[in-house]
Structure 1
């Protein structure tokens, strides 16, 4: 087997430079809370493929379901010759997602594709053009979703011009907005929408219940419910982007549930299928069914192998009660992170829910972001065998997304490495 060094030499000659990687090691196998590279080195995994392998890598039910499906057929295109597993995934999503109303679902390939289709559905159903998004938002890398995304580098730099009729308003970011309460922060955003866009022009209000790439920003309590109430009154489609927060990650099946928010449409991907590419839009039947036949779809959307993996993943989440596992992970990690923060003035805040936690790093005594210190801490983790990720508009947030099946021993060892990296 080639070494990581040998593979990297091949990569330089074969892979486009614009595709980055967090660590210089090449993976041989993974499972539970660890990844093993081709040189035999073990890494404790606090990334989960960016919140994808919630059920773990090579989860037994997923492996079994995928193997069985591959033996039957790999692809027909649901739009040409449909199959039961696509229908079964949609049934599961309609039942699992928040809201007791009648729902429909459609399956796609990626989170960005799900977001694009949610916008298409909202515009078609309302006849309105405008989409409202928030500061620090991340919604994808396609042309429309780059327009929806806030951060320029690396996501948007020199890739424009972007899609139009996208409007950005302030997010509730308690650390950086003076600690505004949720209702006041929502009123600020709503006033901007009404004055600068006009509610009657807005098709959709699109928001991550907890922002992902933007820095794991948890809005103040009451922010989401106030926006939901306004959207209902204004005839605006409330779209929850749960691509990173969904499927037990935050301690409930979906982050909206923490405040009882029922979105009109919800976009899903990442944790849905145990590592296989699958995404979905689920929402109110009258919105989803407003689109003409043939208006939604895609060649690979709802691929049968990915659907088999999704059904097995959901079964695993139920069987192992991974929402409760996320809460346990959050309790352990939260205690350790707060202990680190108490002894390190660079930590401005520990935040998150369940197994979606982060620390924001600043220049001590200020709120000035310190991306260099953040990168150095993360690099120290990597050198010691802990896979961590950074994020945030300012590049100064360390985020933690362990697989929800990580063992207590793996979690503890990872936290020890993290504490040592802070020095």
Structure 2
């Protein structure tokens, strides 16, 4: 027989203890698995700091509950904190799985190539905060709890990297700093200004405020699309069209994303905006190629003039923003992809053209894939392996 049942404070205190121990146990597990590997140490330390901060907050809630005898406030605070802790635990599990996978070379080195690619993107955007990579059963995505980009399981390919650049674009919405060094976030300002304009336009519409969150997400997608195109040229649109777009649904607009029709036309508009800014015809030619692939894949009608004008305005604003605050991130269109394509299929060691970057390698890989469509099944794995190796060798300063 139980003679003395626990009260509310007792239960809350014990729950705090269990959650606290779980967080610290995971931190210790990560430290053991990472085992000093320099590739993963920054994230292990970051998680350890997060876990200890959450443990301290849990202790504070237990102390508060003891003083208040387990009132509603204590339980509300605990529940909110547990929601935050759950996100950290989920990302920690994803990170741990990725570390084990990579340490045992089950990804065949693709994780190192993805890290090198993200380091290249960060350097071009002058974002020093390190992005972490993990594995995902789905497509690439980003979570801001640990700033973790989930890569496709079982291994990221060179064909996936443009989508990884898009996910990095979401990171830039939060992290890209003003060129003057102040605390303003230019891409975030773009989303805020356009959201405010939409709210003003729909003033009096009872549904407007309910739609605001979805509109904010769509604007962030637009900013991330523009960045991925700015830094990777046509390869981003190629990757979307070949790997992600369903031509039969390209005109549909999900709640949180613009339609694929609008997104692909934004990519072309960004390339044309870069051409106007730089005067280099290669960007307009790249836009022509993107639009040609779109027409080849879909039977969608042309974009309405009003929509096209709206997309072009967004492209102009975002290119101006990126040119000012992330100038070094611009993809340097030129003649390199043709010579790099030869390197992707050559036997033995190769000598890349001077100034080759990971962005050039990705574009060359996509140009090869589109130009050698019938040979992709046979030669694709070899080209991918060579491309990932070249990305690792060209990602340095």
Give the TM-score band, short-chain normalised: under 0.3
Greater relative contact order, per chain length (Cα 8 Å cut-off, separation 6+):
1
**Relative to total residues, which structure has the larger strand share, 1 or 2?**
1
**Relative to total residues, which structure has the larger helix share, 1 or 2?**
2
TM-score (norm 1): 0.21
Larger Rg: 2
